[in-house]
Amino acid sequence: MADDVALAPPSPARALWADFAVNRGAVLGLAVLCTILIIAAFADVIALHDPMIQFREHVLQPPVWAAGGSWEFPLGTDDVGRDLMARIVHGARFSLFIGFSVVVVSLAVGVCLGLASAFMGGLVDTLISRVMDLIMSVPSLVLAIVVIAIIGPSLANTIVAVTVVYMPRYVRIVRATAQAELAKDYVTASRACGVGPFRLAFVTVLPNCLAPLIVQAALGISDAILEAAALGFLGLGAQPPTPEWGAMLSSAREFIQRAPHVVTLPGLAILITVVSINLMGDGLRDALDPKLKRS
């Protein structure tokens, strides 16, 4: 990954798309992800019911394809009679929101810390690198749980906890690529022309570090979604009645034998989302990183 010599300057979007489109799996992943995004955006229109309304006569009703199901609740209802389809569709919002927020925040913080580390060097570099090492030395879920224990469980805090866990990756990548770039002639040239350090960092160097960062960010969304779902499963994520997939799955766990759909369907939603993001991320990596292209 550090083999940046082969990295062309940022290619036009069309060239990137051409590289990306070669990979049919990646295109499929992107298509599925777009579908999920659309579903999330239009959740209110797509869902037949309000995800919070409890239909007390229809508790744990099976999905339409099973005996006892009906089109009124296509995916059945949950343990207090809420429409499962509405909850899953709305849940897409939360999961994607968590995934994207974590990545955006980690990227922002990661870029700043990583550039600071690479440009300032010395004590700042040592300090930042050591702290990141430290964070990475605690198993991710354990760290997330400790953070939640400190700040309390909620949707917003889930984002904080997962960000804390995943941010060091971005710092490391930015630092490593920026350091490699710093040694190159164009940087020296810019410096000689009197470009200020701030401009040098963000305008000159950063764009050339983007490729690995984009790949990491794409794959990071799926990691964040999984981690947040795991927290939800342990009851430490989004609080009821928020239709977060992990939490939905966990609160219905006791019905796994009587009404398996309440456990299988939210899990399936997580899986499909994560798979599509990973497919797309893989394609993006192949397209951006010529070394691994078409392998």
**Whose structure tokens read 């909850």?**
87
Which residues make beta-bridge pairs with 77? 83
Interaction of residue 240 with another protein, rule CB under 8 A: yes
Between residue 2 and residue 31, which ones bind another protein under the rule CB under 8 A?
25
Q: How far is CA 13 from CA 21, 132, 203, 288, in A?
A: 12, 33, 19, 11
**Does residue 271 bind another protein (CB under 8 A)?**
yes
CB atoms within 10 A of CB 57: 8
Q: Is residue 142 near another protein by the rule CB under 8 A?
A: yes
Residue 141 contacts another protein per CB under 8 A: yes
293 within 8 A of 283, measured Cβ to Cβ: no
Which parts of 75-114 interact with another protein (CB under 8 A)?
79-81
Tell me if 257 contacts another protein by CB under 8 A: yes
CA dihedral 269, 273, 278, 280 (to 10 degrees): 140
Query: CA-to-CA distance for 141 and 234, rounded, in angstroms?
Result: 11
Number of residues that bind another protein (CB under 8 A): 57
Q: How many CB atoms lie within 10 A of CB 167?
A: 23
Site string for another protein, 178-207 (x = CB under 8 A): ------------------------------
Structure token pair of residue 109: 């913080």
What would the x/- binding string for another protein be over residues 33 to 52, using CB under 8 A? -------------------x
Q: How many CB atoms lie within 10 A of CB 289?
A: 16
Binding site for another protein (CB under 8 A): 25, 52-54, 56, 59, 79-81, 130, 133-134, 137-142, 145-146, 149-150, 152, 222, 226, 229-230, 233-235, 239-241, 246, 249-251, 253-258, 260, 263-264, 266-267, 270-271, 274-275, 278-279, 282, 292, 295
